[in-house]
A and B are shown apart, each in its own frame.
Chain A
């Protein structure tokens, strides 16, 4: 354990309110490479650690536009260019009919973009991560709230950072081996 480099320092809190407060303090203190873990989404937490833009909406927009244009172009190409066929005197480019499938492909592409975009931006799946080395971290999916300051932060100092975390009055502090 002694030889293993340190990935970060982790503090454990009892309530979401404590965690958000602590995250705010940490950010104000000048730490930037930090993260917080909670068993359910807390809107204010991402703000507190200075994370504002999720990037997901843009991915979804691109997916939706691709699905919309691609869906219509596919039908247009099939029925106007590749294999035009007269059905009951309707025009080759039967746009009212094509709206339906265009709509469905738009939703399909946008929806899949939302899911896979979110997973990719989050770097999931990721079977191994150093924070799992902390035994207490199993409670991050139950009823405990964690704050971590990564050792890669420029302000990180093993002793000083630990003192700072202690000033936040956490339930416990652990070193995370990487």
Chain B
């Protein structure tokens, strides 16, 4: 099979365009609703909902970037068929950069440490805002994180774009050299991002494992997203031929691994804080264990861990995309619930789902998905001029 023919065969099916257009419409409609929300809801609520949506969609962007680099480092055949999906997802970062602006502007409504009257009343807040948590530092650090990710994504995309044109070039040593420090940079940046953006909602509360829960959650959500996209694309050529049950099983196993990792981090944090029972630590859980929030916590244990864990033990389920995708959708929803459980209790003592908690994330998601499918359909679904591709194409066309 000649690369020239492949190029035409391997473009995303028209459904990508349809979804892109519909996502954009949904995004626009919900964006209008969100703007209405600014005027009729308290700014605290608007910004909490906004942060929720932002962390959810940023998680997909960054999680896909992390998986891409992980795949470059470890090799393995499971990565080739999803490489373009991962790239299209991570290339939505410019959107996330723009969407960060409202958080930077609204910082005074979101965080206690940015409210002078609260800071004045608390010695620790005075110290930490002087040294670290102040709007300037917050803004500067956020720019640094976004620039770090932007740089990684720029390099990964630029080299990858060269593999859309002849001749066949092997970039794997180059990808590897970038991915090792790239993963370190990603983990450090998202760790401090998680601290700045979410953990500092309660500036007196610390947990050293907390950023890792975000890392595990982002990668998990990204794997689930990839499976959902695979499920859509696999109804059409070329993905119908490219996606092999064995590779899908690997993706399912990755979901399983990261579910367990997420549960491991989350349970360790719970057990250590619960057993220590120190007043400045336990209140994070106390707050989430009253007023209805506890049902969400139990729901997370059941549907973010137990149920998908048992479902993913089945080998056959992981080999069939229409069965695996149901688990993936469940986990994506639970990822959102998990973030909700992390963010919203700092705004409400009783469980409350505000309409903006749904509207703003949907608005962001509309734009994000439109951008994603725009990226996806712009290029062939396989890196045609990567030497590894040959091994994937051959059996499909025997």
A positions within 8 Å CB-CB of B: 88, 96-97, 99-100
Contacts and interface: CB of A to CB of B under 8 A. Distances in A.
A78 to B, nearest CB: 18
B101 interface: no
B275 A99 contact: no
A96 B277 contact: no
Contacts of A100: 271
Interface string B106-128: 00000000000000000000000
B205 interface: no
11 contacts: A88-B277, A96-B267, A96-B270, A96-B271, A96-B274, A96-B275, A97-B271, A97-B275, A99-B267, A99-B271, A100-B271
A97 B268 CA distance: 11
Interface in B255-307: 267, 270-271, 274-275, 277
Contacts, number: 11
The residue among A96, A97, A99 with the most chain B CB atoms within 10 A of its own CB is: A96
Given A97-B271, A100-B271, 9 more contacts: A88-B277, A96-B267, A96-B270, A96-B271, A96-B274, A96-B275, A97-B275, A99-B267, A99-B271
Contacts of A97: 271, 275
Contacts of A99: 267, 271
Contacts of B267: 96, 99
A88 B277 CA distance: 9
Main secondary structure of the interface of A (DSSP, over half): helix
Interface string B328-359: 00000000000000000000000000000000
A99 B306 CA distance: 14
A173 to B, nearest CB: 39
Nearest to A89: B277
A56 B275 CA distance: 38
A100 B274 CA distance: 14
A60 B270 CA distance: 30
A96 B277 CA distance: 13
A146 B267 CA distance: 52
A30 B271 CA distance: 60
Contacts of B277: 88
Which 7 A-B residue pairs are closest in the complex by CB-CB distance?
A96-B271, A96-B274, A96-B270, A97-B275, A88-B277, A99-B267, A96-B275
B335 to A, nearest CB: 23
A100 B272 CA distance: 12
Contacts of B274: 96
A107 to B, nearest CB: 14
Nearest to A97: B275
A97 B138 CA distance: 38
A144 to B, nearest CB: 32
A118 B275 CA distance: 40
Contacts of B271: 96-97, 99-100
A19 B267 CA distance: 50
Nearest to A100: B271
A96 B276 CA distance: 12
Contacts of B275: 96-97
A97 B275 CA distance: 8
Nearest to B274: A96
B316 to A, nearest CB: 13
Contacts of B270: 96
A96 B270 CA distance: 8
A100 B277 CA distance: 18
A99 B275 CA distance: 13
Interface string B22-65: 00000000000000000000000000000000000000000000
A96 B271 CA distance: 6
A99 B277 CA distance: 17
A80 to B, nearest CB: 18
A54 to B, nearest CB: 14
